[in-house]
Amino acid sequence: MKPGPDISEPSLSVYTQPARHGLWSDSNNFGAEVAFAADEENRQRVIKLPEWGEPVVWTVSLGLDYTEEEWPAGGPGGQRGFEIVGEVSFGAGGATQTFEVDWVQGTTFSVPMNAISVDAFYAFPFDLSEGPRAQQPLDLRLSVLLGRGSANGVRPTRSAQLLDGSPFAELGNDQLIATPARIPKFGKRLFVVSSVEPTQFNELVNGNNYVVFFTAPDVSDAAVRVATMRITSTALLDGIRVPPFAKYVTLQNVGGGFTEPVSAGFNFELNL
């Protein structure tokens, strides 16, 4: 089969779409919207596009919509909260990359490709093994839109759970958290997100508390420490660039100073 014609530059006012070809050519639409079931185990494909044209940079926009009126109470202790995570597979030629991105309240990123699929699943900020089952909005809808060219703006993010599945790390006095989080694919900059009360915030940013990057998951044994960054107000605001060799990250306190353990999460800006 002969390859299609070259795709024009996005700046041109007129664009001729190459003839579609591939296994799913009959459904090769550059946008989709679906109802997303309120089932905590739900995993659903939102869009799948086959190979089309020559690979160029495309912008992908993930959107969602719901109402508070259709959101039942639930979750451990009656809490409500959820995140949608998008699993994105894109490719060109014989190569494919797969990564995860937080849907948040909508996000946008750009990748070079001529084929893509986006699946969605739930994530929660609490332990689902305790208390009532989680509840999500019953009218939740997800959308994926594609457009040619690159979008400049805020980069997408991905929150990283600990290897034991916990959404947050609990840091106590004189402790190195032995279960780290794996740095997500394309993770470029780390933002430590803490839910401490304002009265305890100074204990986090003015004490001897550190973000520690390692080469492997066994941070208390064979993993090599490649970088140690102190947690300050500036680090929380500007983020911490992921250093070379780093594959995992955890937290450490030296010398105490906490009145009670601090809960913190890892949110990565993706280089997309």
Integer Cα distance of 125 and 142 in angstroms: 20
Domain assignment present for residue 240? The answer is yes
**Residue 78 has what pLDDT?**
65
Residue 7 included in any domain: no
pLDDT number for residue 2: 46
**Do 197 and 92 reside in the same domain of the chain?**
no
Dump pLDDT digits (tens) for 178-227: 999 999 999 999 999 988 888 888 889 988 999 999 999 999 888 999 99
Q: How far is CA 244 from CA 174, 188, 270, in A?
A: 27, 10, 15
CATH number of the domain that 254 lies in?
2.60.120
Instruction: List, edge to edge, every strand of the sheet that includes 95-102.
Output: 43-49, 115-123, 83-92, 95-102
Q: Answer yes or no: is 1 within a domain.
A: no
Residues 31 and 126 in one domain: yes
Mean per-residue pLDDT over the chain, rounded: 84
Indicate if 109 and 175 belong to the same structural domain. no
Does some domain include residue 2? Answer: no
- Radius of gyration for the alpha carbons in the chain, expressed in angstroms and rounded: 21
Examine the domain organization and report whether 113 and 189 are in the same domain: no
> Do 168 and 65 share a structural domain?
no
- pLDDT by residue (tens digit) across 16-56? 454 544 433 444 468 899 999 888 889 999 999 888 778 88
Reply yes or no on whether the pLDDT at 228 is more than 90.
Answer: yes
Regarding whether 243 and 165 lie in a shared domain, the answer is yes
Q: How far is C-alpha 8 from the geometric centre of its chain's CA atoms?
A: 31
CA 255 to chain centre: 33
**What tokens were used for 76?**
């451990």
- Quote the DSSP letter at residue 162: B
Q: Which of 15-19, 75-79, 196-200, 242-246: highest mean pLDDT?
A: 242-246
pTM score, whole prediction: 0.75
CA distance 182 to 216: 9
For residue 251, pLDDT over 80 is answered with: yes
Per-residue pLDDT of 108-142, as tens digits, reads 999 999 899 999 999 887 766 666 667 788 899 99
* Cα–Cα dist 138/38, whole Å: 6
CA-to-CA distance for 35 and 233, rounded, in angstroms?
40
Q: Assess contact for 149 and 86: CB atoms under 8 A.
A: no
H or E element, residue 194 = strand 187-194
Range of the structural domain that residue 239 is part of: 159-270
In 3D space, the residue among 77, 62, 11 whose CA is nearest the CA of residue 32 turns out to be 62
Instruction: Look up residue 252 and give its DSSP letter.
Output: E
> What per-residue confidence (pLDDT) applies to 130?
64
Residue 65: partners with Cβ closer than 8 Å, 6 or more residues away? 139, 140, 141, 143
Domain count, the chain: 2
pLDDT for position 52: 77
